[in-house]
Structure 1
Amino acid sequence: MNFGISINNTVEIDDFLASWQVIDSYDSNTTISWLNGPVTYWDDTNTEISGNKDLAFTFLHGDGAVFYSSFHSENNEIEDFSDVDRIMQFLVFEILDID
């Protein structure tokens, strides 16, 4: 199920908030990275950093999992679902299939 998203390996994600954190590293044995892309963000010293980063993860924990993303759809002023909304739905529902 792809929620009607046209898949061409590229989607623009522009709803980053200044207070949301970009993840620098993670344990690939217990973490699933869902997507990666170029981002620009500021660190604790207000230094601008640009580079490719993983942006959405599922952390496996016990018999379950936790989904984390460095973005969301707060700035969405469209009444219908945006591609970012659909991606978030897809990723959250993917957690249900994790063994």
Structure 2
Amino acid sequence: MTTKEYDAMCDAMQQTAGGYRAREIYREELRRKRSAVLRQLQKMGIDTTDWNRVDACCMNPRIAGKEFRKLTVEELETVNIKLRIIQRKENGKNTDYSQLN
């Protein structure tokens, strides 16, 4: 059974069971979280068109420890927070303190 066939089967089963809407909501949430993480990676200078680079970044144990496509909504939220913290620290290091006085 291919992935497409499996997804079609799951869709048919969930429509029958009435859970189709919940699955669509989850998928939309997953898309939004993935987009937010990719946006942060772009800000950090990572080429998000190269999935090997995106996966390499996410595989870092300090970031996620797993491939980007395997991250759940909750893990993506955590990764987004970590990336924002890293970016904030990097911006703080690049501040010219002579301008503050």
TM-score, normalised via structure 1 length: 0.24
Instruction: Point out which structure has higher relative CO (alpha carbons under 8 A, 6+ apart).
Output: 1
The structure carrying a bigger strand percent of its residues is: 1
Q: Which has the larger radius of gyration?
A: 2
Which has the larger helix fraction? 2
TM-score (norm 2): 0.24
